[in-house]
Amino acid sequence: MKETQITWTGMDLAIEGELTIPMVSLVLKQAGQLLELHAQPDLSVDLSRVEKIDTAGVVLLETLKNSAAAKNIRLHWTRIPAFVDQAMTTFSGKKDSKGTPGPPREASVLARMGNFAYDVGHHLHDLFYLIADTFYYSVQNLTKRHGQRKGEFTNQLVLIGMNAFPIVGLVSFLIGLILALQSAAQLRQFGAAIYVADLIAISMTREMGPIMTAIMLAGRSGSAITSEIATMVVTEETDALKSMALNPVQYVLVPKFYAMTVAMPLLTILSVIIGILGAFVIGLTYLEIGLEPFYNQVVSALFLKDIITGLVKSVVFAWLIVILGAYHGFRVRGGAAEVGKATTASVVSSIFAVIFADSILGLIFYLGQTIDI
């Protein structure tokens, strides 16, 4: 294919060759250079030697005109061949421009701040309603059969709880093992090797167990909740539920909320036990502590308060993951691409929320403790 050329013919320009998709960027580049050097307010462009034109060619001509106008140059097409003229009428986008929005206006800083504040307010408002709905229906569903999906709780319990068990177990075992290994080296120097048991028992129960389980579930179940709900929104399944007088929060979310509330503390307990087992492996092999002294040490180190701390945390984390997962799912608008984005946003925000809540709860429990004394 011959390359399209823009050439000077005296005071005018002429386009020679095809105005088709492969030529568009070439012509735009040439025209850009030519217009750069040009200073007159009017310029004629001879189109008589255009050989072929397609939709992209028509758009190209329009673009040229606009970019010239931006440099205060008026372009005039001259000697337009009949087929080019026809294409320009057929393919010009002008016919139905009523609905298409103009170029986006640059918002002022104040307006943008205002919009931002409005958006944040809007999100908080939606989030608040979602939380209210979730708790309202999760209490109501305990006594009412209507509005829930049969067998869905068990279903979700298996999906969220049972299926997550292997990975949570494995991670907890490794965490216990690593923590024990790291601290053993230090404690051994002081002849305090047996305190590895205390250290791991307390840190697994109060911190690592709940946090690791929550992070695993945020990645596994939080993302699944978001993508399922978001897909339902996009495919109008939530609208269909509403049209059947069913509330999507009640019908879809509440069973997951229940399942999460039950599964998370159970998984956390398992995670703690397996983490301590991991530590015991180090105790046995590296520190040569037997099962009985290790066990006694663990039991004497743990107080009920530690266990309650861990369980309260795990429930709070469960709720954060479900609510944030659902929130990102329900607010999806648009198509399939949005589902992916929502899922990512959900995982990131729920992991952040879990860690943030952990520090707040840590503070609360710590303060509670000091006041006790």
Partner 1 sequence: MNESRHIVEVSDLTSGYEDIRVLDNVSIHAPSNQITIILGSSGCGKTTLLKHLIRLLQPWSGSIRLFGQEITELDEPEFNTILRKIGVMFQNGALLGSMSVAENVSIPLEQHTDLNDEIIRKLVEIKLDLVELGHAIDRYPSELSGGMRKRAALARAIALDPPLLFGDEPSAGLDPVTSAGLDELILKMRDQLGMTVVLVSHEVASIKRIADHVIFLDRGKVLFCGPLKEARSAGIQKVDDFFSKG
Q: Which residue has the tokens 């663990």?
A: 298
Nearer to partner 1, 47 or 229 (CB): 229
The answer to the question of residue 60 lying near partner 1 (CB under 8 A) is no
Among 235, 285, 296, 300, binds partner 1 (CB under 8 A): 235
Nearer to partner 1, 151 or 191 (CB): 151
Tell me the three state secondary structure of residue 251. helix
Residues 89 and 54: their CA atoms lie apart, in Å, by 12
- The CA-atom distances, in angstroms, between 259 and each of 99, 143, 251, 327 are 47, 17, 13, 17
The answer to the question of residue 237 lying near partner 1 (CB under 8 A) is yes
> What binding mask, one character per residue, do residues 20-59 give for partner 1 by CB under 8 A, x or -?
----------------------------------------
The answer to the question of residue 119 lying near partner 1 (CB under 8 A) is no
Among 90, 242, 284, 363, binds partner 1 (CB under 8 A): 242
Among 147, 165, 181, 345, binds partner 1 (CB under 8 A): 147
146-150-156-161 Cα dihedral, nearest 10 degrees: 100
The answer to the question of residue 94 lying near partner 1 (CB under 8 A) is no
Shortest Cβ 189–partner 1 spacing (Å): 57
Amino acid at 57: G
**Cβ partners under 8 Å of residue 246, min gap 6:** 147
Shortest Cβ 125–partner 1 spacing (Å): 15
**Cβ partners under 8 Å of residue 336, min gap 6:** 234
Interacting stretch for partner 1, rule CB under 8 A, among 232-240, 271-279, 316-324, 362-370?
Answer: 232-240
Among 46, 228, 306, 358, binds partner 1 (CB under 8 A): 228
Interacting stretch for partner 1, rule CB under 8 A, among 61-69, 71-79, 240-248, 309-317?
Answer: 240-248
The answer to the question of residue 338 lying near partner 1 (CB under 8 A) is no
Nearer to partner 1, 248 or 310 (CB): 248
- The CA-atom distances, in angstroms, between 277 and each of 79, 164, 172, 305 are 87, 19, 9, 21
The answer to the question of residue 140 lying near partner 1 (CB under 8 A) is no
**Cβ partners under 8 Å of residue 322, min gap 6:** 134, 222, 225, 253, 256, 257, 260
Q: Mark 212-241 as b/e (b = at least 16 C-beta within 10 Å).
A: bbbbbbbbbbbbbbbbbbbbbbbeeebeeb
DSSP single-letter state for residue 198: H
Nearer to partner 1, 71 or 242 (CB): 242
Residues 102 and 169: their CA atoms lie apart, in Å, by 56
Instruction: Tell me if 109 sits within 8 A of 117, measured CB to CB.
Output: no
Nearer to partner 1, 143 or 189 (CB): 143
Among 37, 109, 244, 373, binds partner 1 (CB under 8 A): 244
Shortest Cβ 233–partner 1 spacing (Å): 11
Nearer to partner 1, 105 or 150 (CB): 150
Q: Which two tokens stand for residue 59?
A: 């758009």
Nearer to partner 1, 1 or 244 (CB): 244
Among 232, 254, 260, 272, binds partner 1 (CB under 8 A): 232
Residues touching partner 1, count (CB under 8 A): 18
Shortest Cβ 163–partner 1 spacing (Å): 16
Q: Which residue has the tokens 């180190």?
A: 301
Among 240, 291, 348, 360, binds partner 1 (CB under 8 A): 240
Could you tell me where the beta strands, DSSP code E, fall in the chain? 5-9, 12-19, 42-53, 74-78
Residue 239: half-sphere exposure toward Cβ, Cα within 13 Å: 6
Which residues contact partner 1 by CB under 8 A?
99, 146-147, 150, 228, 231-232, 235-237, 239-246
